[in-house]
């Protein structure tokens, strides 16, 4: 058992035939969750059995979303939790099912299911805390979260982890919705990722000709000091749009990075224009000694359970998956997200594209800040590039982001002309400058 989570010794177990006393004993570590409205003995919503089918219902709209948040399934078949559901599925789904059993005052079923979970994952600290509470609750009512353990220094972060897991599973993204920033992704981009720091959640979208579809989501940890990274060593996770640059096998990593890592391109081209520093921002796993980490526990990386990281890595291409890291995701219908691209920007990009294909260096230069035109060497490089136009421009993705200004991140492929050997993938950061849009940073994607 991890240091600081020593189970209190339970007294003689209460008889199951004394329901009144047992009902009092259920005031254990989940009291904080019950009072938060996440679990209830009379709540008919089965948190552990959420699915994306048509049974989902909607809450009223909230400020952070253009669409209503969905609740967990609310079908008659799920009104009474099945103890068997706590014995199968992902570790997180099993843990939530166990909380549901506790909320229904079914301590014996909850204890049996949690014991089985710990046999499989003995380093799942949140399950260890619940186990201590379940054992101690047979002796006397527990008035506080973690009352079944001694050494309470580790309890508060675990409580936050439980609350984040439960909240993210109870309030689901609206059916069919996508993050507002995902304006356009070509079918050649198979996946996209969005991280909601406020929910400690990573959402994985599959992309096809039919558009984006949410296919999975995972609990994650972010920086010890939260988000909005500015300088190296600030222990914050960067906010913005990044792209994976490869995959690193666990054998090439220290144990603290877990089962593997997906490096991100922080600082990106725009970050560098703003003087942001640091390096080595990854999506990575956890050390072998633990199953997960508290919501804010990394040095700036986004951290997943090892099995989640491996499952994610197996799906993604080797590189260039977009990863949006946001304080809080604003969910929109796909057509609303597409419509969020300002007409002025679309017009500017189309004019730039025409100038690029026509090898019109002067016209291209008009889309850069005045400082670029004033820099003779930069202008010369721009005209040299413009002199060799591509055969075409396709596979265009557009993702918006609000930084210190409104941005549009555009990635596209320049098709090789007859006298060129290979295609090139380019990425541009367009920034709004009053009524105009300018290319404030760009570069080739290697």
Among residues 247, 299, 290, 241, the alpha carbon closest in space to that of 267 is found at: 241
Burial state string for 186-213 with b = 16 or more CB within 10 A and e = fewer than 16: eeebebbbbbbbbbbbbbbbebeeebbe
Is 333's pLDDT higher than 60? Answer: yes
- Tell me the range of 46-55, 75-84, 142-151, 170-179 where mean pLDDT is highest: 170-179
φ, ψ at 224 (rounded to 5°): -60, -30
- Split at pLDDT 50, 70, 90, the class of 21 is very low
- Tell me the range of 8-22, 190-204, 361-375 where mean pLDDT is highest: 190-204
Average pLDDT over residues 24-28: 44
Q: Could you please report the per-residue DSSP string of 152-179? A: GGGHHHHHHHHHHHHHHHHSBPPTT-EE
Least confident of 118-127, 163-172, 351-360, 405-414: 163-172
Average pLDDT over residues 159-165: 92
φ, ψ at 243 (rounded to 5°): -135, 145
Average pLDDT over residues 116-124: 95
pLDDT confidence of residue 373: 57
The structure's pTM equals 0.84
Distance of CA 327 to the CA centre of its chain: 10
Give CA–CA dist 296/419, Å, rounded: 52
- Split at pLDDT 50, 70, 90, the class of 144 is low
DSSP secondary structure letter of residue 234: S
pLDDT in tens, 230-270: 999 999 999 999 999 999 999 999 999 999 999 999 999 99
Give CA–CA dist 172/191, Å, rounded: 20
**Helix, coil or strand: residue 357:** helix
Q: 390 or 32: which carries more pLDDT confidence? A: 390
Average pLDDT over residues 282-290: 96
Other beta carbons within 10 angstroms of residue 347's beta carbon come to 11
Is 82's pLDDT higher than 80? Answer: no
- Split at pLDDT 50, 70, 90, the class of 206 is very high
**Cα dihedral angle (356, 361, 365, 367), rounded to 10 degrees?**
-20
pLDDT confidence of residue 175: 95
Among residues 128, 155, 293, 275, the alpha carbon closest in space to that of 224 is found at: 293
């Amino acid at each position: 058992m991890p240091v600081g989570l020593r189970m209190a010794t339970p007294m003689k177990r209460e008889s199951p035939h004394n329901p009144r006393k047992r009902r009092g004993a259920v005031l254990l570590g989940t009291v904080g969750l019950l009072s938060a409205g996440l679990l209830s003995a009379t709540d008919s919503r089965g948190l552990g059995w959420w699915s994306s089918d048509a049974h989902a219902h909607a809450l009223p709209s909230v400020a952070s979303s253009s669409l209503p948040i969905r609740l967990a399934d609310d079908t008659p078949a799920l009104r009474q939790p099945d103890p068997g559901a706590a014995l199968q599925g992902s570790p997180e789904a099993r843990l939530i099912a166990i909380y549901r059993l506790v909320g229904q005052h079914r301590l014996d079923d909850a204890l049996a299911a949690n014991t089985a979970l710990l046999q499989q994952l003995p380093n799942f600290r949140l399950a260890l805390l619940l186990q201590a509470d379940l054992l101690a609750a047979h002796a006397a009512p527990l008035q506080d979260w973690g009352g079944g353990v001694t050494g309470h220094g580790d309890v508060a972060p675990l409580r936050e982890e439980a609350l984040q897991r439960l909240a993210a599973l109870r309030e689901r993204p609206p059916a069919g919705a996508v993050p507002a920033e995902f304006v356009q992704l070509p079918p050649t981009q198979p996946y996209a990722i969005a991280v909601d720091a406020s929910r400690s959640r990573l959402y994985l979208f599959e992309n096809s000709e039919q558009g984006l579809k949410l296919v999975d989501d995972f609990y994650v940890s972010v920086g010890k000091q939260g988000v909005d990274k500015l300088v190296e060593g600030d222990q914050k996770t960067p906010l913005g749009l990044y792209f994976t640059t490869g995959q690193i096998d666990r054998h090439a990593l220290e144990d603290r990075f877990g089962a593997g890592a997906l490096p991100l391109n922080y600082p990106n081209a725009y970050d560098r224009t703003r003087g942001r520093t640091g390096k080595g921002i990854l999506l990575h796993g956890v050390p072998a000694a633990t199953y997960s980490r508290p919501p804010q526990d990394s040095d700036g990386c986004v951290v997943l359970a090892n099995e989640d990281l491996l499952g994610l890595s197996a799906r993604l291409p080797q590189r260039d998956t977009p990863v949006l890291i946001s304080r809080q995701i604003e969910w929109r219908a796909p057509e609303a997200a597409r419509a969020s691209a300002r007409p002025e920007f679309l017009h500017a990009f189309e004019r730039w594209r025409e100038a690029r294909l026509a090898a019109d260096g002067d016209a291209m230069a008009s889309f850069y800040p005045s400082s670029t035109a004033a820099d003779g060497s930069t202008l010369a490089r721009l005209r040299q590039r413009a002199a060799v136009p591509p055969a075409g421009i396709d596979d265009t993705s557009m993702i918006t982001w609000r930084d210190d200004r409104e941005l549009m991140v555009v990635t596209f492929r320049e098709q090789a002309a007859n006298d060129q050997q290979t295609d090139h993938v380019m990425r541009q950061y367009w920034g709004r400058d009053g009524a105009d849009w300018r290319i404030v940073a760009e570069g080739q994607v290697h």
